[in-house]
Structure 1
């Protein structure tokens, strides 16, 4: 599932490509037809992200809310007025066409039209987003310090902190030397402050570079990444391999329905 930096990159891209002008919106698949018709031809006022949620706000106080889920993707293409629009390939839930670019959305978990109050309700259920200006870490800390749940689960809870997925969760806990099964209330305020600061820095790099980069330069060597074309990780998807720092075998286990990865040596 895409993590928060991916949605912020999409929001910035859509802001550049489509905002401030009327946008043609259709649903070739047919599952979003009536909602697409409601915003078709309206001016896209802005595109923004909060955690893993993307919001396209149109005039008339209408918002298209997208959550990509596991399989959702946007595919962009340049508009060629002479050649006409390309045929929709696959199950295109929503097609947006601007003056110079078009984009097709396939396979999202959520693609819905909301009124302003409904969009605000979605945001109200989310925790602070480390990539948003003015995000309040104190609100995150208040939830963590009162909880008996493992910190590894709390970091993935979008109501506690928005935008953190399995890669950032596993990697930031390794970088801070924190066992993912330690209870939230057992995390010190200093540990939380360092973890928040690290998350903000890592996610900003992800936003800028378009990929999750977590390994410090002095450790960025040896065994390759878990997948071709991906930067190395410390623990994510490296179960059974030696730790890049202490050589202890990386472990994995289920934590509230998701696999978590950690080093028993570095995160004792």
Structure 2
């Protein structure tokens, strides 16, 4: 499932390329036809990300809420203006870096990892060489024709004169009024990329320290903290040396605050690079290798049965909160 950093990156794409523009809204697949009709022809006035959810505001007061879930993803095409934290130049966004797009030196090249975890052009569910893993779609052919023909099950298409965004496979795609948006937001925990104030930190600390629930479950609870998914959960717990089964209420104040601060740190890196980089102080060839290969940028995630990078104990795999949990029984004892 795309985690919080991906949704923030998507939102920045919309802030740069769609906010302030009138959009044509359609549902090539047909499943969102009624919602598309409510939004078609309106101007997007705001784009917000909170955790794993994105909200687009339109000038007639309605909002589009998107939750990508396990299989959702956005594909962009057209004359895209990239966010400064994602790339430093403009260019037509296609399958490869062939249309004049330039990346900052630190991100050039390694941005495209071999696992398909990140792409500037398409953000969301995993894919391999532009093939949607969940739908086994044919390869998307980016050409000079604009807008391109919809490929596969496109739930909603947002189109301006120069930019096109196609959404496939979301868990949620719905039109809401302001009161309904406020109700959704009220159920979500704090997101440090949106609000990293002492008040947001205190809210997280207070909730965790009241709960008998294992910390491995609390970090995945979007009402406790927004944006953390399976990868960040495993990596944060290892970095903190915490047993995933430790009840939240048994953790010390400083420990919980450190978790919040580490989440803010890792999330910011993820937004900037597009990849869940959880190993610090990598430089040179080590950094480039980690940007390209997932196996070289995580401590425990997907390393079951392999020796811990610190103590050599085999990494354990178990299920928690209906998701796979990876941890070191020695370093996290």
* Superposition TM-score tier, normalisation by shorter sequence: over 0.9
Quote the Cα distance in structure 2 between the aligned partners of 1:49 and 1:228: 26
Quote the Cα distance in structure 2 between the aligned partners of 1:160 and 1:88: 38
Q: CA deviation at 1:84?
A: 4.8
The 1:12/1:84 distance shift into structure 2, 3 A limit, reads: closer
Question: Which residue of the other structure, out of 189, 197, 200, is the alignment partner of 2:264?
Answer: 200
1:124 aligns with 2:186: yes
Q: CA deviation at 1:228?
A: 7.0
1:140 aligns with 2:204: yes
Quote the Cα distance in structure 2 between the aligned partners of 1:260 and 1:188: 23
Tell me which moved more, 58-67 or 129-138: 129-138
**Deviation sequence 1:96-153 (CA, Å, 0-9, x none):** 0113210100000000000111111111110101211345011111111111110010
> Hey, what does 2:167 align to over in structure 1?
105
TM, length-normalised to structure 1:
0.93
> Hey, what does 2:293 align to over in structure 1?
229
State how 1:26-37 maps to structure 2 within 5 Å.
26-37=26-37
Quote the Cα distance in structure 2 between the aligned partners of 1:203 and 1:124: 21
Question: Which residue of the other structure, out of 216, 220, 242, is the alignment partner of 2:280?
Answer: 216
TM, length-normalised to structure 2:
0.76
**Deviation sequence 1:151-180 (CA, Å, 0-9, x none):** 010000001001000111110110011111
Quote the Cα distance in structure 2 between the aligned partners of 1:218 and 1:64: 39
Q: What's the C-alpha RMSD, in Å, of the aligned pairs?
A: 2.0
- Is the 2:230–2:325 contact (alpha carbons within 8 Å) kept by the matching residues of 1? yes
Query: Paired residues, what number?
Result: 264
- Is the 2:234–2:327 contact (alpha carbons within 8 Å) kept by the matching residues of 1? yes
State how 1:38-117 maps to structure 2 within 5 Å.
38-78=38-78, 83-117=145-179
Task: Classify the secondary structure of the residue corresponding to 2:167.
Answer: strand
Any unmatched runs of 5+ in structure 1?
none
Q: Which has the higher contact order (CA 8 A, sep 6+)?
A: 2
Task: Classify the secondary structure of the residue corresponding to 1:191.
Answer: helix
The 1:84/1:262 distance shift into structure 2, 3 A limit, reads: closer
